[in-house]
Amino acid sequence: MTDPGVRTAPLASPIHAILLAFPVALYPAALVSDIAYLQTAVVQWTNFSQWLIAGADLFAGLLLAWALIAFFFGPGRRMGARGARGRSLLYLIVVASMFVTGFVNALQHAKDGWHSVGTAGLVMSIVCTVLALVAAFIVHSRTVVTETRS
């Protein structure tokens, strides 16, 4: 039984979770296609990676904008949620890092042939994948307890 003066609230809204789902799916798919290119040297895999990264970057940009709005105007700021500001700031840093790394990764993949993936492209795809999964873990790992006053 819960205390009637305390309620739990998720860190992110459902729209935020939908926007986060795209980078969580597309960055690992780009990593898999990078690995496939390194194994087969078929150029179509790099084209596939470019499109996956572009889609992930699009939604990562929207996600970053939504995270900024939530950080400055979200319910954690108004209701004084314990720990919500720290988690929101950490989440904002992770999403911003994911977006910047994804953008640089897109530029790396725009190069020609073998230079597009190589070591740098593969490492950036791994970093983007890990950051997307960390962002999802931060948002969905636990709820924030807020105190309601009447």
Are the beta carbons of 98 and 121 closer than 8 angstroms? no
Name which of 78, 80, 98, 101 is nearest 90 in CA terms: 98
Q: Which are the contacts of 142, defined by CB distance < 8 A and separation ≥ 6?
A: none
Which residue positions in the chain have pLDDT lower than 70?
1-12, 74-84, 113-115, 142-150
pLDDT of 82 = 56
Are the beta carbons of 12 and 137 closer than 8 angstroms? no
pLDDT of 75 = 62
Tell me the C-alpha distance between 134 and 1, whole Å: 31
Asked whether the whole model's pTM tops 0.75, one would answer yes
Torsion of CA 76, 77, 81, 83, to 10 degrees: 90
pLDDT of 79 = 47
Q: What are phi and psi of 105, to 5 degrees?
A: -65, -40
pLDDT of 144 = 52
Query: What separation in angstroms does the CA of 19 have from each of 2, 31, 56, 71, 88?
Result: 31, 19, 10, 16, 16
pLDDT of 63 = 95
**How far is Cα of residue 39 from the mean position of the Cα atoms in its chain?**
27
